[in-house]
Amino acid sequence: MRVRDFSRPTTLNPDRLFGQVAQKLAVAVITGRVRAGEVLPNEDDLRSEISVSRTAYREAVKILTAKGLVEARPKSGTRAAPRERWNLLDPDVLSWHFEADPNEKFIRDLFELRRFVEPSAARLAAQRRTSADIARIEAAYRGMADGAPYAEATIRADLAFHEAIFSACQNAALQCLSSAVIATLQWSLLLKTGDEAAYIESLPDHEHVLLAIIDRDGDLASARMAGLVIDSLNTTLASLGTHVATETGKIARIKHTK
Amino acid sequence: MRVRDFSRPTTLNPDRLFGQVAQKLAVAVITGRVRAGEVLPNEDDLRSEISVSRTAYREAVKILTAKGLVEARPKSGTRAAPRERWNLLDPDVLSWHFEADPNEKFIRDLFELRRFVEPSAARLAAQRRTSADIARIEAAYRGMADGAPYAEATIRADLAFHEAIFSACQNAALQCLSSAVIATLQWSLLLKTGDEAAYIESLPDHEHVLLAIIDRDGDLASARMAGLVIDSLNTTLASLGTHVATETGKIARIKHTK
DNA sequence: ATCTGCGATAAAGTCATACGATAGAAGCGG
DNA sequence: CCGCTTCTATCGTATGACTTTATCGCAGAT
């Protein structure tokens, strides 16, 4: 399901050959089609799936190695790595994960992370924000309020809102987490498309966060952001349930709740 | 400064050729020797620095691409990416960062992240821990208490202590952050080597966290872990100051406080 | 003079091939 | 049955040729 990607383009080029191979292999690993055993034998895959040279294949493997999905041992073979080695927070891994196996536990984990990180980020933003930060966050909020729910521009604005808050923290390490948060948020928004009520109701929450940050009230900003994330999780889980119950299309793959 | 790596081995093999090239390039990017302009021209680097085949060079570049350090565009060249694209939380990027440019701001950012994440993790651990988790955390604590300060086994135990707490959270996304936290911690421990007082004083803090987790007291575990992280930051900054003031060896590169 | 479009060009991407090294398996001999 | 040797599979590295892509500059048109 070729979803539109509103966030910054993923680092590895998907219309390049090695990118496609990497994605294929990544999905195979993430879904568990290959466990901790060897990956699909080099030549075998080359011959069957798509005719691809060893160069492209190796570069794809290098990408996956860099992201912790596989481990290439000098001579014994290239094996799928155990899940705890994966860089789950890497934007690419995350998007592959959504595509391959968006089970409920995983969603809960990600939202739990959001629940820990975003309130803290909001607090920090409230303490450190410059007027430029405010302008950015406010512009994003306007974009959310003015646009039609779940329109492309609106979603983009929502993502920008959260990203701007991270940016206002002036913390590179935290900033790095924002890409994971954004990816989670984006996925959940695409899932919720149609639930206009949820979107409308979230607007005041966003505004309240904005106001708290303007007031430099860290505690308030943190508390309001925490509420926002929790609401977001609830509506997302509701949509997830709906989709599992009704849809039979591609998105219904989501029912893997292993 | 070939520091001993007590954590699990980094994903990319450092005694393989492409790994060395990747490290070289990564350090060049991270220190800012190449900014957002082009990286060293392909052939030029091959010929001058180390005679290395195009294959190895390309695979190194693919690794860096996967970690967000560089961006390769077909005709315009392979450029160093702006810092906000880097996967700072990637274990390899983190270790390269420590090696290349461990400035104080960066340390503060990382400890700030720890301060947000680890207390939350401790709370979760207190709520969800199994008896197996307790056994693991307790064993790590014993290792810390019994060993000599900053001995290899002791440091390993310290890392294991924090990792076990993350593990007890039963949250894959959070678990992923643990590698970054562990790397930060490891670096700070190696830096602090010699400051025995700081180590001894941290022991009761660790024990208190452990006890709170055993008692399933999330609030207490969170608060104590927060205190522990703050103390850790303070002693680390103190050591950093000491090193800058006295040492002239390799570690003195740390004074880059840009 | 400015804009438009097309081609030259440079760099990344892809392919094919070859060889070295070694971990692990298979086979051999004790 | 066990230990040693050999064999093979697979990764790592090297090389050269060809393809694709996108930038840049030139030439022509408006």
pLDDT value for A251: 43
How many residues are listed for chain A in this entry?
258
CA–chain centroid gap for B80, Å, is 22
Nearest CA among B4, B2, B6, B3 for reference residue B159: B6
Coil, helix or strand at residue A79? strand
Question: Which has the higher per-residue pLDDT, B256 or B186?
Answer: B186
Residues 6 or more apart from A59 whose CB is under 8 A from it? A18, A22, B58, B59, B62
pLDDT value for B14: 72
Contact assessment for residue A50 and residue A8, using Cβ atoms and an 8 Å cutoff: no
pLDDT value for A30: 93
CA distance B203 to B141: 8
C1' (D9) to CA (B102) span, angstroms: 43
Q: Measured between CA atoms, how close is A153 to chain B, in angstroms?
A: 23
CA distance B26 to B18: 12
Q: Which residue has the tokens 């390899």?
A: B92
DSSP A36: S
Question: Which has the higher per-residue pLDDT, B122 or B239?
Answer: B122
Cross-chain Cβ contact B63/A65 below 8 Å: yes
Out of B12, B86, B177, closest to residue A65 by CB: B12
Helix (H), strand (E) at residue A200: helix A196-214
Lowest mean pLDDT among A86-90, A224-228, B8-12, B193-197: B8-12
Residues 6 or more apart from A248 whose CB is under 8 A from it? none
Per-residue pLDDT reduced to its tens digit, B201-218: 999 999 999 999 999 999
Residues 6 or more apart from B55 whose CB is under 8 A from it? A55
Q: Residues B79-100: what's their mean pLDDT?
A: 93
Per-residue pLDDT reduced to its tens digit, B128-150: 999 999 999 999 999 999 999 99
C1' (D1) to CA (A75) span, angstroms: 29
Q: What is the DSSP string of A144-156?
A: HHHSPTT-HHHHH
Alpha helix (H) residue ranges in chain B:
17-31, 42-48, 54-66, 91-100, 104-128, 131-146, 152-168, 172-192, 196-214, 218-246
- What is the maximal distance between C-alpha atoms in chain B? 62
At position A210, the amino acid (one-letter code) is: L
pLDDT higher than threshold 80 for residue B255: no
Instruction: State whether the beta carbon of B16 lies below 7 angstroms from any atom of strand D.
Output: yes
Chain D bases near protein CB atoms (7 A cut-off) = 9-16, 20-23
CA distances from B120 to A214, B49, B174, B204, B220 (A): 26, 46, 10, 20, 11
pLDDT value for A252: 41
CA distance B119 to B133: 17
pLDDT higher than threshold 70 for residue B49: no
Q: Residues B143-158: what's their mean pLDDT?
A: 94
Q: In degrees rounded to 5, what are phi and psi of residue A71? A: -130, 125
Nearest CA among B230, B243, B239, B222 for reference residue B202: B230
Residues 6 or more apart from A120 whose CB is under 8 A from it? A174, A222, B116
pLDDT value for B45: 61
Cβ-based neighbour number of residue B156 at 10 Å: 17
Q: Which residue has the tokens 């595509």?
A: A99
pLDDT value for A73: 86
Q: What is the percent of chain B with per-residue pLDDT over 70, rounded to a whole number?
A: 86
Confidence label for B44 from pLDDT (cuts 50, 70 and 90): low
Lowest mean pLDDT among A182-186, B60-64, B126-130, B194-198: B194-198
Task: Tell me the two tokens of residue B149.
Answer: 């300060």
CA distance A112 to B193: 35
Asked whether the whole model's pTM tops 0.95, one would answer no
pLDDT tens, residue order, chain A (258 aa) = 444 555 455 567 777 899 999 999 999 999 988 877 777 766 666 666 677 888 999 999 999 999 999 998 888 889 999 999 999 999 999 999 998 888 899 999 999 999 999 999 999 999 999 999 999 999 999 999 999 999 999 999 999 999 999 999 999 999 999 999 999 999 999 999 888 999 999 999 999 999 999 999 999 999 999 999 999 999 999 988 777 665 444 444 444 433
Residues in chain A with CB shorter than 8 Å from the CB of B63 are 62-63, 65-66
Task: State the average pLDDT for chain B.
Answer: 87
Task: Tell me the two tokens of residue A213.
Answer: 């940050």
pLDDT value for B244: 62
Contact assessment for residue A197 and residue A83, using Cβ atoms and an 8 Å cutoff: no
Question: Which has the higher per-residue pLDDT, B123 or A251?
Answer: B123
Residues in chain B with CB shorter than 8 Å from the CB of A173 are 88-89, 106, 109-110, 112-113, 180
Confidence label for B256 from pLDDT (cuts 50, 70 and 90): very low
Q: Residues B35-42: what's their mean pLDDT?
A: 72
Residues 6 or more apart from A165 whose CB is under 8 A from it? A118, A121, A122, A125, A137, A209, A213, A225
Nearest CA among A109, A118, A47 for reference residue A84: A109
pLDDT value for B12: 72
pLDDT value for A177: 95
pLDDT value for B252: 41
